Structure 1
Amino acid sequence: MNLKNIKIETQLKFGFALMLLLVVFMGFIAYEQTNQIHEQTKYLYNHPLKVRRSIGELKADILIIHRDMKNLFMAKDEAEFEQNIFELGQTENKVFGHINDIYANYLGPKSDVDTLKSNYELWNSMRKETIRLLKEKNVKIAAERTKSYGIAGNQVQLLMKSVQKIDDFARDKADEFYQNSSNINYRLNLQLGFFVVIVLLISLIVQYFILRNINRPIHILTKVTKDFSDGDYSVRSNYTLQNELGGLSNAFNSLAEKLEENLRLNEKVYSLSEIMLHENDTKQFFIKTLSKLTEQTSAQIAAIYLLNDQKRLVHIESIGLNEEIRKEFSVENFEGEFGAAIINNQVHHLKNIPENSKFVFNTINGAFIPNEIITIPVVTGNKLIGIISLGKIGHFNAEALNLISKTKDTLSARLESVLSSAKISAFSEKLKETNIELEKQKVELYNAGSYNRGLIEASIDPLVTIGPDGKITDVNQSTELITGYIREELIGTDFSFYFSDPATAKKGYEMVFQNGLVRDYELELKHKNGQLTYVTYNASVYKDGNGNVVGVFAAARDITERKQAEANQRQLHEELEQRSKYLEVANTELELQKNELSAQTDELSEQNTELEMQKKQLDEANRLKSAFLSNMSHELRTPLNSVIALSGVLSRKLKGKIQDDEYSYLDVISKNGKNLLYLINEILDLSRIEAGKEEIDLTAFSIPELVSDLLSMLQPTADEKGIKLINTIPSNLELIISDRTKVRHILINLIANAVKFTTEGQVEVTLKRKPNYLGIAIKDTGIGIDPEVVDVIFDEFRQADERTSRKFGGSGLGLAIAKKYSEICNGYIEVETLPEKGSTFTLFLPIIEDSNIHRSKSVQNKKNAGDENVIKLRKTLETTILIVEDSEPQILQLSELLSEEGYKVLVARNGQEALEIINQSIPDAIILDLMMPEMDGFEVLNTIRQQFETKIPVLILTARHISKEELSVLKGNNINQLVQKGELNPAELLKRIESILPEKTSFHREAEPPFLAKKAGDPTLLLVEDNPDNSMTIKALLGDKYFLLTAEDGITGLQKAINYKPHLVLLDISLPGMDGFEVLKGIRENETTKNIPVVAVTARAMKGDKEAMLAFGFDAYVPKPVDNELLESTINYLLYGKQSI
């Protein structure tokens, strides 16, 4: 099989599949190596680390036993002595437990553990002997045994050596596992580099062969097409492979062959036509035409037969026929091979005549029977005038048949013209003889008709007398005027000569001679100067004395005006007919366009259906993508929760207890876990941006304050590297209106990058201005960027130099997100950089004018310099706010917040209750939730606007996503504010509430701290978590501070909450059987547990998850991986009111 014959589509599919296969194989190798690294890490934790932890605890317990033995000697009484023995027994049990743990996890010879155990048991028996001696009051002997040189002391040294041997082996094994992980990592990098090179080489090879197989035939076809267009009609493509371009080559060759055949045929048609048009002599015309036909069709026999008055075809001229076989044929009987052609008036092709055929008929060649005969009827106006017959011994080719088909009509027309010329010539000779005779008769008539002169001259109409030969015998003066000729010039000339149509004029006077008279016979008289005059003749014959007709007397009447009117009418009629035809054509075109539009409509309908299906598929893909991101966040955060939190617990508990290099392992685990969490958050941010789910929240804020906060946060990192941070932005800069959160994200990324990539020097933050834009520039003296790759740094997972990611770290997402955030804020980022000189990144934000934004000013207390008191304006107690909300936590939070600010608060837990309260007392403002049972917020708002004349300010506070249609409904009902739950902090929410209130007198008062009762005793917490690792993590974080109850599923958790009534519940959301939402619902529905604070501890950390949790009724939200400080501050706030969530 020739590989070049493979279709281009197949080649492209094969190349793509090959590269995809290589990438999958490379991913499989990386997956296997990563698993090996994971196994090494697991072995490091499960064996050496656990053994060394058990060793440490074992050493501590041995020292405790040694200490307690000394306490036995100092016991004051028997009770104290027995208490010490009891504590010794408990410690001994712990020691055996540690030895069993070591035996289970120790990877060295088990004999080492057996030796340890036997030494301990021996020491244990020695201690029992010592205790017996003490009980018998042999204190001195017992004391000698316990001294360092005594039998028990020596045994302790042997025991500690056994412990140290196992400890040394565990430490060496940990080093071995770490080295193995490093080696696997090196091999993985080497293999990945090798496979990347292989994939690139194979890709280039596949690309080369595919391009070669496409470009070569295209070049061949291009050259052949150019040669053909230049006039070389014999050129053909020699590309014959069986692929798409081979098919194109064959199609071109077929087209070129047909064009060449048509050109040859046209040349032959032209040659034959030229001969026929240039020959007027009948005989020469027939001979040359037959000769050319036999030459161009390769016929051996040719003949022309013409139809005579007896309806017989008579031989006129031929080539290749003997005299004796030239016969006549009857047209009426359809004789011979002419019959079929005569009946249909079509060319008849008789072929494949066998030599021994018994089918005998009169042919033009007598006894000779050719293989094929072509009979060409010569027809004019559907009337047969002759036959041309061609005979050939062989076969007529297609080109000959096409030639005959194309020249048949021309041949018929030209033959008719030649025959007409011959008839005209014969008629002219006969006419000359007649004129001589008529001239004699004219002289006689002139002598006989002179008496009519006076009468003729007296007429105002043109008069003329005509002899039997058609010659003018006399005219009057009016005839001279209308013709432009004098009488002498007219007499003796043919009457028909002076008319535009001589034949019609001749026919007119002949009718007079036949019928005796003619009336209103219209002719077009021709003046000497060429002017035409329309006339109508009335004529009659006149006779001599013997009654013989001697001539015609004709009188003409000028009808030019009438003819002009008729011409105008006829022209108008023709125009109407043309317009009618045009309208018919237009109607036809419109009908075609209508049909075409109908077809296009059907096609568009099909396309719309297809687009709708694609839209549904795209929506489903977006939904699956969001679900995947949510699941990915959950599945990644769950193990990271254990990694980060437990590494922090181990870091605190093992500090100072293990060697520094081993302790540093925990820092590495914690740091990389947090780096991975940061990367996950960045990927989720980027996915949200690309999905178009990021919204802009415009607020007025201070750029100098924001930059100052960011520089203070990064100052420790800069100090550690010896870098100077400089802020030159003026503190009195006007407020800017933008999305503060996104601007903060952009600036912290740019400033952190400047610090990270600067090894010495400084990072300076300055202000720039452009028309309608304010710029914040971050200039550093770092490594700089190659100008050729500046555009690359804003792409996802890309850095200017991939080597920098090794040295400085980073995922390559920070600048990509920063750029997208700047575009969302209608701004942009500019970069100025020089390699090894430093870079300047400038964020430009649009300047938005808003007359409602006012800068808050600080008032300095003159008595205490440097202290600032922020002045707050609060509403008086006369201001009443109605809260319409069905969520109790939300009601409590809003009520407390508003009451502290001095507002009078009314609460309605459903829509009907709200309408009843408004009927009794109209509040100053309403805070309305949209999602409520029975009557939702839309119905409540619509009823308020219809039933109450006063316009009550309404603030919509909801966790629901508002569609465009719903937003239009809300705007139509004149809402004042629309706020998403969880989107604003209390201070911002108060500002929104104050902005909708009518102007009232306000006063300043100090806020009183709320009274919070602390719970007595150790608080009991219930942890509902199905993941054992996460459960163990939270136990490690809180186990020494609180009494923890645990439940592994939602049903058990709800039962324990009802049975034990804990002070606080830590509740996971994704639980088997009954999820966290159902558990919360069960807790709130039970009278004994409905007031217990419930904290959502979940890996659901997508945007909006926190707000959804709080809106559902959770008292607080802690995302996984669990941050220890956030978890403790949340618990302290809910239990004691110590900190803010």
Structure 2
Amino acid sequence: MSQMELRRSVAEREGLLSGQAALIDQQNALIAAQAAVTQAAGDRDVILDTLVGGVMAAVSQTEGAVIELREGDELVYRSARGALGAHVGLRVPIAGSLSGHCLMNAKPVLCPDLLVDPRVRRDLVEALGARSAVCVPILRGGEAVGVLKLQSSHPDAFTGLDLHVASLFAGTIPAGLAEAGEAEARRGMRAGEATLRTVMETLPVGVLIAEAPSGRIVGHNARAGAILGHKVADDPTGERPERWIGFHADRRRVDPKEWPLARVARDGEPRADLEVDYQRGDGSRAWVGFSAVQMRDIDGRCIGAVMVVTDIDGRKRDELHLAAAKQAAEEANRAKSEFLANMSHELRTPLSAVIGYSEMLQEEMEDGGHDDLLPDMRKIEANARHLLGLINDVLDLSKIEAERMETYVEDFAVDAIVRDVAATVESLVSAKENALSLDLAADLGDARTDVTKLRQCLINLLSNAAKFTEGGRITLSAERGERDGVDWLTFRVSDTGIGMSPDQQARLFERFTQADASTTRKFGGTGLGLSITRAFASMLGGTIAVASEAGRGTTFTVSVPARIAGTNDAPQVDEDTGPTPSDDASGRGVVLVVDDDPATRDLLTRFLKRDGFHVAAAVDGREGLDMAHRLRPRVILLDVTMPQMDGWSVLRALRGDTELGNTPIIMVTVLGERNLAFSLGATDYLQKPVDWDELHGVMDRFRPQDHEGPLLVIDDDDDTRDRMAARLSREGWRIVAAENGKVGLAAVAAERPCLVLLDLMMPEMDGFTFLSILRAKPEWGSIPVVVLTAKDVDGEDRRRLAGQADSVLRKGQVGLDELPALLRSVVT
């Protein structure tokens, strides 16, 4: 071997030994890096930084190394050393970079000169100061999630061996990332558990956690034990609610199956709640609330239950005290209602007698020439009426508070009601030299609402205006208009009186309250009128408003719908099935008065006799029934509050009697039970103290007639009219026929009939409209009307006919031979 060959052989051996030493160094660097990763305790930043440092140590010519992880369309420098150390956080677009090319192809790349590589953007290369580079993909599950890159500022700095070493390091990165992820998850779980424990221990309620389906308690907070008053075991032996002792409000012991934790964890209920009088560890009792819900895994399976335990002892005891107080208040309210009901009778009855006798004595004094005594009698009457008004206000307020006040709906002409109200208060207005004027729109038309409450609203407002105005003007205006598709009636009462300040207006509608103490001293009153007016307006579906200025007068505005439905929309009329006249007509002209109060019986008897009626009187309900059977009276005036048998029982008995069922019955009572009276079949209703003009108007309908007028038959069927006319003519009736309500009204105007036989269903004007117009005219109000119709009369029809028709008969149920006797019983 020549010397040259020897030297070449030695050089080759030295190179081989050097390569082997480098490879050993690289392997040692990789092992050291892996060991460091193991010691990193799952810290991702430490793991990545260790691997970057290891690869730089293994590939000595590396000037900069970086691990880039993909985020969307970019690669982010997560860990870097050397020349790239300052670029941590840098975002590089995948397109136009060597790392991006490596990532997209999931293959290692060795680039000897970046400046001439068409895959790389020159600006990126120059910015990072690189000439040559090695890029190896980081693969997780076969998908490239990042790149390990080595770079140098010199071209041709890396060899295939360097690429191999970098690939070895890149292969360890996914495991490191996975370990970091798991460690991070464990830390998060521990932190979450610590947070949950902190939250549970700071909650003001107890928390119990049970497994499913056993219901065994596996976790709790300290507050749970404090509320339950005993230790809660969550060891393997387990505590279950079955061991607990609790009682319901009715003192029943809680069944083990009733505890919410058992119902949710074992029985599968999604939620359960229970309030229990719980027996604590020391034997004491306290109210505890339990509320449990299911815990479900990601597949929706129930894996346990969480129950919240709440100390509700204070709240529950307050509830029990409130319930006891409520019961006591209800009992007191019932006692008050009974007291007011008794007082209404005990106070109104003697006051009615005082007013009635005062009126009669005034008439007798005028007839006897004792004019000097009339002023005193008028004062007695005025003060009695004033006292009665105060009593009525208090009783009305009591009914409003108890929500027992009902609305009685009826049809009426608005103009007529307003003028009637004005006439009623005229003397009150003029007492202080005030002038009352009306401003009524021409299109007021008809309305359907509670006319009594509407009248009371207007009277209260006019009385109020008269009280606070002297030598001035009071104006009552009314108009009709549409709002939101509903007809509204608007009434305004304006005065030129003392007016009010804003503070006074703010408390104007409070009960038992007036503008101020000086107002009460000067003008008197209870302060109930306006509060009752507002309540009535609200019951009618309307509103009341006030506008006033001190010293310049006041205007009250009441707006109500023109048509409403009442609480008991309207009274019912019993439908007659046939005639029940008696051959014994000895009592047909008699009015039977049934009342237990001697003064009321005496007053009614004297008034009715003076008005031309024959009167019989009964002292209680049983005697009234006996006399009704014996006398067969033309009409009965019936009180309600009587011993032994009250008026309602008498009314029911009479309406159920085949012989007396058609007898007109007028309820005369201090009770405000108009709806009940009509629903039980009353013909009319008067409230004590009786207004004698009102009684006179009601009784005119039952006054014996002279029969000189014709019998008016109104029916649109020609054959029906002809048959009735022929049959009734043979009985001596003089017949006038009309084919509809409009023609019938013309016939009434031409000659007043003694009786009207009326069909309901007719063209042009039906029977309902005819009756409404007929009864609206005072001169025709007493004409008897018998409805004879083929229509199936329903509840609404009966309500419309209540107080309008004397009798309702069905065609087909009453024969022509029976009709004359029935009609004769009506007019006799």
Q: Which has the higher helix share?
A: 1
TM-score range, shorter chain: 0.3 to 0.5
Question: When the two structures are superposed, what TM-score results if normalisation uses the length of structure 1?
Answer: 0.34
Q: Which has the higher strand share?
A: 2
Question: When the two structures are superposed, what TM-score results if normalisation uses the length of structure 2?
Answer: 0.45
Whichever of the two has the greater Rg, that structure is 1
Higher relative contact order (CA 8 A, sep 6+): 2
